[in-house]
Structure 1
């Protein structure tokens, strides 16, 4: 029987489903009989409970389940008959009028949109690149030295200078009143490394152990503590201890301590360069991928199903609650997070997903087995035991699905960059690494 599909608005459709009452009643009766074999009731042996009792207690529940199951089957058959690509779950409501011996329902739902992608040759994309310089390697070496630095207490006559670790007591007041977070005892920080506001560091710089000082400090308007942002406080600070830092020399011992088998500075720098080049590659790829995806969406025309946006927003709410839970927030799973907060971001994600899926389908950009293997092996190189990492990925379908998604995105990116008008830009290493 042909299915009549009614177009309501853009992607919204409606079809009418009918269920024969005799079929429903027969299935309900069959399930109740099966249920009666295991139902327990006081005064009756198992399997001997009267059907009238089973019907009274479970009849409504079973009928609800049967109708839902049959509606699901009927909707699936109707959608297949009409060759519809249904987006999201249908909303089903029973109709007041129906033919004798039948139940009638209206199923309202959305379908996937037609995605039209214009000629990508007109798209303009800035493609970035970056190199690992000797200066970048030098900075990384300094970071490694600082991670392994030691401290020694300075003499009584020495004053605090940049690079020193100072231990202080402090108390701040605004209009003569203490404020939350404005007091601490035995507080340590590294002078000159931006751990404190510049005005605070400037006041401590040049002080001796045992010395106290009172100074004004104006909190920036955009200070993270909203209660004190834009206000001026008076601080009393007492320096308890000053420790000079000692950075290890860059030599064979330093290289060996970092796990370099050859134990040479040259091998250490080569290892650093290799790791930085891997990080640069992924960051450059991410930036170029983002630019390519933006260009692709800009060339696409489609309506986005509201049901898919709502579903994506709900997933984002669930992820937000999970993040709160990991941070130790109490009752994070009950946190009142409105899904509407994520609607714009969810719409962008769904739109991009639909456009990418269409390009993959039309241009045969699916991930090939050799691409999956190559990507996993590349990831594994940043670990101590690459072979184990490869086996870890290959042994789990979900992990492989994640790899496949990345490879497909890379294929899409390469395809777009191969079609669009490209302007190449060399990014300084520091600028690339400063981006999220």
Structure 2
């Protein structure tokens, strides 16, 4: 017997479940008799152990199993009867009366089951939502700037007989002294650094400028208060640098050989510019899609305010924390030392769960699905970023998991396109650099 479902919080519910003591005992006895047939005990033949001894040894365990099975059965029936969409698993506790005592009805065991349900989502009206679509054009100056970036990627360094300048590659040793003593991580040899790239703190890199090979320099450096190394955060360290080499950057000439290195077989510079223009336009399209998608998801959240089940939020927090640990480990950092706390991930996790629930409802109500052609398009577009697109396409189709990821992306694109058909889309002219986040 179950009573009515009661609301505790927005998505938390409880229900009382009563189980017959007689029914429990009958099932316990039935199971114990089955166990007795196989029980071995010193002084008795197999299967001939007295029922009382079997009950003494296994009775408590079997009773817990029977009660657990009965609770699961009764709860499942209650869920079906009340048409509930539950999240995770219920928690059970023995019901107590108003005085804090357990139910004294000897014929019934009464438990309270507490659980969470999925939110009821009634999709909101998007007709008053406005989304800006960025619009830009690719000009010769954008191609020139891209060529310059490519030149820097193909930079070579030649030995320089002069003082260090910004953008030089230098090799040096250093050691630091804190409160009169060396400290862990405060010394290194043969460090390679491109001055001005930001690998080291700016003031540290600036100290190298103007130095000559074999020169030593000692200077004080104060670490920021929020520096990840707690031993030196906010403290002033005396560093001594010895410069070992200076190399100046030499960029390749923009000529036929340069074009050939970039895949233009005949070295034609016009063809190189055409290829770069094609790549830039493809990147523009990708950025426009990304910005539209961000606005679409934000718009859906705005018109569909919902609560998210704590069980799902906690699962997502754990997933995000594990991803962060793996990311830190791949960079040689110890996640435990960084004190990752669940609350740091709560807002992001809650946002993701809410958005996921809204998207699932939207796709169900409007029958949005990804076709095989759309999945193929997603894979082909992704493959274009690699040297051998055909091999990348085969790689995607060789894995069900990778295909599922591509299907999810295609489905998201269908959601975006559907929403764009419901909202007000206005074009906004932007520069290429603004669109790419370079301005």
The normalised TM-score by structure 2 is: 0.78
Counterpart Cα distance in 1 of 2:16 and 2:110: 7
State the shift of 1:289 in Å: 1.5
Query: Given the alignment of the two structures, is residue 403 of structure 1 paired with residue 406 of structure 2, yes or no?
Result: yes
Q: CA deviation at 1:86?
A: 1.6
> Aligned match of 1:356 in 356, 359, 374?
359
Q: Which residue of 1 aligns with 2:77?
A: 77
Residue 187 of structure 1: how far off its partner (Å): 2.6
Query: How far apart in 1 are the matches of 2:159 and 2:179?
Result: 36
Matched with 2:316 is 312
1:417 aligns with 2:420: yes
Q: Is the 8 A contact 2:328 2:335 kept in 1?
A: no
1:124 maps to 2:130: yes
The corresponding residue for 2:98 is: none
Paired residue total: 431
Superposed, 1:6-25 pairs within 5 Å as 6-21=6-21, 24-25=24-25
Please state whether the residue corresponding to 1:89 is helix, strand or coil. Answer: strand
Write the deviation string for residues 147-203 of structure 1: whole angstroms up to 9, x where unpaired: 443333234xx3333443222334555787766655443332223444445555554
Corresponding position of 1:150: 156
Query: Aligned residue for 1:88?
Result: 88
Q: Distance in 1 between matches of 2:282 and 2:104?
A: 66
1:304 deviates by 3.2
Decide whether the 8 Å contact of 1:221 with 1:230 is kept in 2. yes
Partner of 2:194: 190
| Matches of 2:286 and 2:305, distance apart in 1 | 30
Distance 1:204 1:341, change over 3 A: closer
TM-score calculated relative to the size of structure 1: 0.79
1:379 is the counterpart of 2:358 = no
Q: Which runs of 5+ in 1 are unaligned?
A: none
SS, match of residue 61 in structure 1: helix
Matched, 1:342 2:351: no
Within 5 Å, give how 1:24-103 maps onto structure 2.
24-25=24-25, 28=28, 50=49, 55-95=55-95, 96-97=102-103, 101-103=107-109
The 8 Å contact of residues 176 and 238 in structure 2, kept in 1 or not, is answered as yes
User: Would you say 1:286 and 2:290 are equivalent positions?
Assistant: yes
Q: Distance in 2 between matches of 1:424 and 1:272?
A: 25
- Tell whether 2:211 aligns with 1:207: yes
Give the distance between the partners of 2:184 and 2:334, measured in 1 at CA: 22
* Separation (CA, whole Å) in 2 of partners of 1:197 and 1:266: 41
Verify the 8 A CA contact 1:255 1:268 in the aligned structure 2. yes
Structure 2 counterpart SS, 1:83: coil
1:365 to 364, 368, 387: 368
**Post-superposition offset of 1:79:** 0.9
Native 8 Å contact 1:92 1:105 kept in 2: yes
Give SS of 2:285's match: helix
The 3 A distance-change label for structure 1 pair 201 and 284 is same
Q: How far is 1:242 from its partner?
A: 1.7
* Distance change in 2, residues 1:386/1:224 (3 Å): same
Residue number in structure 1 paired with 2:112: 106
Instruction: Determine whether 1:296 maps to 2:315.
Output: no
Cα distance in 2 between the residues matched to 1:152 and 1:373: 47
**Does 270-279 or 103-112 show the bigger shift?**
270-279
User: Is residue 167–residue 189 contact of structure 1 (8 Å, CA) maintained in 2?
Assistant: yes
Q: Aligned partners of 1:376 and 1:42: how far apart in 2?
A: 68
CA apart distance, 1:48: 5.5
Counterpart-to-counterpart distance in 1, 2:270 and 2:159: 33
Retained in 2: the 8 A contact 1:220–1:230? yes
**Alpha-carbon distance in structure 1 between the residues aligned to 2:136 and 2:37:** 72
CA distance in 1: counterparts of 2:347 and 2:368, whole angstroms: 28
The 1:396–1:106 alpha-carbon spacing in structure 2 relative to 1, beyond 3 Å, is: farther
Q: Supply the distance in 1 between the matched residues of 2:339 and 2:197 (Cα, whole angstroms).
A: 39
Gaps of 5+ in 2: 96-101
CA contact (8 A) 1:2 1:81 kept: no
How far off is 1:14 after superposition? 2.1
